[in-house]
Amino acid sequence: MADAANPAEPPRKRKRVTIADIAERAGVTSGAVSLAVNGKPGVSDATRARILDVARELRWRPSHAAQTLMGKNSEAVGLVLARPAEVIGEEIFFSKFIAGVQSTLSGRGYSLLLQMAEDAAAEAAIHQAWILDGRVDGILVLDPRIDDPRIAALAGMDHPTIVVGGQVDRDSIRSVHVDNGGAMGLIMDHLHGLGHDRIAYVTGDQAFRHISERMDAFSQFCVDHGVWGQSLAGNFDPAQAREATARLAGAPRPPTAIVFDSEVMAIAGMSTLASLGLRVPADVSVLSWEDSTTCQVLHPTVTALSRDAVSLGRTAAAEILQLIAGQPVQQEPVVARVIHRESTAAPDRDRGPA
């Protein structure tokens, strides 16, 4: 509490309890405390019990640095999110993924160390600091980029790492990923099967490896099936998604279906279509790469690719724990499927020029 005579004075930070504090309270030497808390011989059972009772009373915990020096695990896994805060707050994927990770880690007595960063360079610096300080036993990396400096740096430090969102194969690094080409094939099969041959794709950040894989699969499907296709960058930003949707809708020959890389962009796109007097799906079908509760309750409900982000998080956590334990990790892609809802239907052949 602040001093009553000076209410503006900030509260004092609680002093970290040290081995010396325990020794003073228990009436023993610091060396005896070290032996007792680390389970080593050299003190009597009665003295050890008294020291441990004092340690519990003072709520003492060993520091990360001390645990590292003793060769102990930190029992923590690190995850840095290098995306704008508003994107993280809006996209349901992140909360579901983190919930899945934490549920698995908690069951094994591990915690999740979570931090945000401005960009990939800042994220790499945080990874390095964590590893050097012994704060984490393993690291999860989201959204691998093309020529990703984070992966090269982590491989050089030989620290257990799981990359989520792209396939990587290095000694200390494994990956949990969706078969992006196969998933895009499912999406395009769904739309083409309904009769769409003019399909647009509003992408996420095109610097991400998994977005690049999706774009390649989209283009190849269009070539193989005689579909007119166009990709525009949306960068997971609702404002950019609205702008891209308006451009597509205003073209001389607009697409009859649009695929969005997230449910937030899909909803923004549907709002733009409505403002332009276009109906979903009568005029334009809409499909989201991400599924969410919002997709299920919006009117019309939104057709989406379901990947189960909670299960993805659980899988990533289970595999990082296997790497930490020195066990082999099976790199199986996550299964995805298209959930058909009201936002996709056969195109209206009478709309627009042929």
Give the three-state DSSP class for 352: coil
Higher pLDDT, 343 or 124: 343
pTM comes to 0.73
Of the ranges 40-54, 70-84, 162-176, which is most confident? 40-54
pLDDT of amino acid 86? 72
Q: CA 293 to CA 4: how far, in whole Å?
A: 50
| pLDDT tops 80 at residue 69 | no
Q: CATH 1.10.260.40 occupies which residues in the chain?
A: 1-61
CATH number listed for the domain at residues 1-61: 1.10.260.40
**Residue 10: pLDDT above 60?**
no
Q: What is the distance of C-alpha 31 from the center of its chain? A: 44
Choosing among 3.40.640.10, 3.30.1280.10, 3.40.50.2300, 3.20.20.70, the CATH entry for 180-306 is 3.40.50.2300
Rg (the chain; Cα; Å): 26
Q: In the predicted model, is pLDDT for residue 44 greater than 50? A: yes
Of the candidates 152, 75, 141, the one whose C-alpha atom is nearest the C-alpha of residue 106 is 75
pLDDT over 70 at 333, yes or no? no
Question: Is residue 248 a contact partner of residue 285, using CB atoms and an 8 Å limit?
Answer: no
Position 3 pLDDT exceeds 90: no
- pLDDT given at position 243: 98
pLDDT mean over 230-237: 95
Q: Could you tell me which CATH class the domain 76-178+310-334 is placed in?
A: alpha beta
Name the residue with higher pLDDT: 341 or 36.
Answer: 341
C-alpha to C-alpha distance for 336 and 179, rounded to whole angstroms? 8
Residue 74, pLDDT score: 75
Find the Cα–Cα–Cα–Cα dihedral 115, 121, 125, 127, rounded to 10°: 60
Where does the chain hold its CATH 3.40.50.2300 domain(s)? 76-178+310-334, 180-306
200: which strand partners?
230, 258
Q: Specify the pLDDT at position 353.
A: 42
| pLDDT given at position 11 | 47
Residue 29 Cα to chain centre, angstroms:
47
Max Cα–Cα distance, the chain, nearest Å: 91
In the predicted structure, residue 157 carries a pLDDT above the cut 60: yes
Distance CA 218, CA 204 (A): 14
255: which 2 tokens?
A: 């697409």
pLDDT of the residue at 242: 97
